[in-house]
Structure 1
Amino acid sequence: MKTVRLTQQGIVFAIFVLLFAGFSIFLPGFPTTDNMLTLLQNVAVLGILGLAMALVVIGRGIDLSLIAALAVPSGLLLQLVQDGDSFSHALLMAALLTLAFGLFNGWLIAYAEVPSIFATLATGLFLAGLGQTALFKLDVVQWSPGLAGFEKLGQGNLFGIPMPIVMFAGACFVVAAFLRRTRYGAFIYAIGDNPFAARASGLPTRPLIVLQYVLASLIGLLAGLVLAASVNSMPTRIYNSTMIYDVILVVVLGGIGLAGGRGGVLNVVIGTLLIGTMLNGMTIMNMSYSAQNLVKGVVLLAAVITDSFLNPRNEETAQQGDI
């Protein structure tokens, strides 16, 4: 007789099902079509960011600068078009800023050996400050006629499916293929599992760490473009929100171990569904922002404690550069 082995992934999915069913029964506005579309749209942006964070965490790092990577390059695109630049040139400038930012993050962590939590905290603050002081005229960068058609990225649909969901699904496919079908993805798992063994076996660990942060920043830009197209603006002060904690919640609750080398895209999808449902339900219940933060803090603390038991660290995991 086979025994059923409970995993964090399975437990979180069961909690999601129960939570969704409970909200559907007890919250009158929850199961409506409009609310489901709103939930899915919000979940899409959060899920895309979760994929970026997953790439870094699997390689035994963390990226606290993701919200800056979401807000500033996409805000720069909107600002340049508003100032008269063509959309293609503005998109190129946003991509170059994102690429430079990811390279700088990766260099700090891989070559300067600054722990990722401190490096990305500092660079995120720097990029956000750069945008607010030098790049943007207002905190909310408004839409302009030169962006006509771009809104379909966030407001259109494909065969009846909202484009943000399509973009999230496409990002999931690409990241899953990268992690599971390419040697670079396998190398990232190897670095996360044991960086010293990976280096001893001849893997180019430093360039691979840089690659992780470049990819994370580019995925952050994608999330920013989807968000900007969805709301026809870019509220650049979103960096000051608690969104980065939601992203960490998605990754940790989904079952991607903070010790590195474990998890994948399916974990991100499950974590995204649970956090998206929880946030949407709290909004419908008119919970205050402070109360929502309290709930998220408790859930994150429980998730981190659970992760420490399910993915215990050994002497090798407590080294510089580890979370």
Structure 2
Amino acid sequence: MLLITVTLFVTFSVSLNGFIGANNILALLRNVAVLGILGLGMLIVVLGRGIDLSMVAIMAISVAWTIQLVGEGTPLGLALAMGYGFALAMSCISGTLVAYAEIPAIFATLAMGTFVYGFGRAHLITGTDVVYLPASFGWASQIGQGQLWGIPIPIILAVCLAFVVFLFLRFSKHGWNTYNIGDNTPAARVTGIPVRPTMVMQYMMSGTAAYLAGLITATAVQSMNTRIVNSNMIYDVILIVVLGGVSLSGGRGNVRNVIVGTLLIGVLVNGMTIMDIQYTIQNVIKSLILLLAIISDSIINPRDEQTGQQGDI
């Protein structure tokens, strides 16, 4: 995948005017920063033989509610804490359904995503699809638009989160437990690893990534459109993870895979945009790539009985 990414980058640099420009490269990285952050959250869940289809719903509703709270006069710090708390609570419920109720992850998180969107629209965000950023959002409005040393803050946040996730997976006990659970869940349970609490923690970390990605998205465009839940964004996140080489069977993959997948999709989408390829055609191309990636993953990492019991796709 890294070789394909480099080849695609070189090809577009030679054949497309303006692709290699510094401004376009920064724009490319900035545009995929949100997908990269969501991909890091999805990585942790997939490594434990799960999947989180509720990420985009949690991202949209929790951040939209935060913005609405600030607009109604709630102090910024309290609003951020309440929005983040909502994201954590919904992710915790998803993890509990998967770990303790043993509902297949694909169904549990799909249902939770629908619930979060419906509950948020009915009780938290009422009367509008789009919630606009108020002037009182203060310093937090720079999360998506600000720069540090000439580098957009979303890129810096994505790099920092990638480093944190790398340290977590490589050096922490819970990170190693995640790999062990994904590789062989019954054996992990026999060796004394707290499988169920670890699985819940994985989904809560996914919710944390979703909230951060939502803040970047909202502050970049000064609004949060809750209809993003109905978009193809969650499939782009899965595409990044699978295309980068993370096994849907669990236990195989790392941060490097997500970075490669994110860059590949970023280069591909940026090149197609410069070539003025229609958005619907771009979605068809990405869908075909996702299908081929899943087929390849099935061949390289065959499903087993444990994977089926975990509800992996």
Same fold (TM over 0.5): yes
- Aligned mates of 1:239, 1:316 — CA distance in 2: 31
SS in 1 for 2:235: helix
- Aligned mates of 1:190, 1:64 — CA distance in 2: 23
SS in 2 for 1:203: coil
- 2:240 maps to 250
- 2:312 maps to 322
SS in 2 for 1:234: strand
Deviates more, 1:37-46 or 1:256-265: 37-46
- Aligned mates of 2:138, 2:304 — CA distance in 1: 54
Identity among equivalent pairs (%): 52
Show CA shifts across 1:246-305 (max 9, x none): 100110011100000011111100000001111122222222222111101110011011
Alignment of 1:32-111 (within 5 A): 32-111=21-100
- Aligned mates of 1:237, 1:38 — CA distance in 2: 24
- Aligned mates of 1:116, 1:199 — CA distance in 2: 19
Deviates more, 1:118-127 or 1:31-40: 31-40
TM-score (norm 1): 0.94
Shift of 1:27: 1.9
- Aligned mates of 1:176, 1:68 — CA distance in 2: 26
Shift of 1:108: 0.5
- Aligned mates of 1:305, 1:212 — CA distance in 2: 26
- Aligned mates of 2:256, 2:81 — CA distance in 1: 31
Q: 2:6 aligned with 1:17, yes or no?
A: yes
- Structure 1 unpaired stretches of 5+: 1-11
Q: 2:211 aligned with 1:221, yes or no?
A: yes
- Aligned mates of 2:120, 2:272 — CA distance in 1: 31
Shift of 1:244: 0.6
- 1:6 maps to none
* Letter of the structure 2 residue corresponding to residue 133 of structure 1: A
- Structure 2 unpaired stretches of 5+: none
Shift of 1:236: 1.3
Shift of 1:319: 1.7
TM-score (norm 2): 0.97
Number of positions where the alignment pairs a residue of Structure 1 with one of Structure 2: 312
Show CA shifts across 1:44-75 (max 9, x none): 10000000000000000000111112111111
Alignment of 1:1-323 (within 5 A): 12-136=1-125, 137-323=127-313
Show CA shifts across 1:195-245 (max 9, x none): 011111111111111000011001110111111121111111111110111
**After TM superposition, where is structure 1 displaced by more than 6 Å over at least 4 residues in a row?**
none
Show CA shifts across 1:164-203 (max 9, x none): 0100011001111111110000001000000011111111
- Aligned mates of 2:49, 2:215 — CA distance in 1: 27
* Contact 1:109/1:321, CA 8 A, preserved across alignment: no
* Letter of the structure 2 residue corresponding to residue 93 of structure 1: M
Query: RMSD of the alignment, in Å?
Result: 1.2
